[in-house]
Amino acid sequence: MNDYSGIPEDIALQTIWKSFGIFMAVGAVLILGFYGPGRFHYMGELWMLSHPGMDVFLGAASGLLFSGFVLLLIYTSVIEMPDNAYIRLIQKIAEKKYGLFTIAAGAGVAEEFLFRGALFGVTARYAGDLPALLGVSLLFMALHIPQYRGSFMIHAVVFVMGGALGGLFLYTGSLWTPIAAHITYNAILAFMMKKKARH
């Protein structure tokens, strides 16, 4: 069992939402500080829905495919979900009232704004789409290293998923598409972790 000192056994949902607020603030600072001319227009465009039904449907369908693929890898023992303090904390959060909503919607919106909206948007402006896609996918994977420490395959899956979320953002030009994908993926995986914790 891999435990890490300093990881709390439980955490209040209010604290988690504060951390999502920090993600959003950091994303806004990155865009306003580094995007350059058109920063306010870009920030507004991120939240526009030109094809609401199609953008959200494509995102949700992609999230369903991602989660189905990961669950298939887990059930066929290609990858194994680590048993560590981070995973147990997520399971405990999922058990709370509004816990699944927090894991799915909170992380989905905050992480997508920071990684796809801000980091990808700013990096792509200066370095181009492909370097931005690769670099931001690596950072996205790095954020999840403590959670999945010890499982190279899961890290690889998170990297690929980061690239796919970036691809959805590039394809639709809408932040809502990767947000819908991220929310769907997190909701399904957190629900499965919650079920596993009860057995």
Report the domain count for the chain: 1
No. of helices (H) and no. of strands (E), the chain: 11, 0
Q: Is residue 100 part of a domain?
A: yes
Q: Could you tell me if residue 8 is inside a domain? A: no
Q: pLDDT tens digits for 107-136? A: 999 999 999 999 999 999 999 999 999 999
Residue 3 lies in a domain: no
pLDDT at 2 over 60: no
Q: Is residue 186 part of a domain?
A: yes
The answer as to whether 7 is a domain residue is: no
**Residue 5 forms part of a structural domain:** no
Confidence (pLDDT) at 9: 85
DSSP helix/strand/coil, 114: helix
How would you label 19-42 residue by residue, b for 16+ Cβ within 10 Å and e otherwise?
A: ebeebbeebbebbeeebeeebeeb
**Does a structural domain hold residue 6?**
no
The CA distance from 184 to 198, in Å, is 22
Q: Which domain holds residue 35?
A: 13-198
Looking at the domain assignment, is residue 141 inside a domain?
A: yes
CA distances from 7 to 82, 84, 114, 166, 170 (A): 15, 10, 24, 30, 36
d(CA 94, CA 117): 26
Residue recorded with tokens 């009860």: 198
Task: Decide if pLDDT at 3 tops 80.
Answer: no
The amino acid present at 185, given as its one-letter code, is Y
User: pLDDT tens-digit profile of 139-194?
Assistant: 999 999 888 887 889 999 999 999 999 999 999 999 999 999 999 999 999 998 88
DSSP state of 105: I
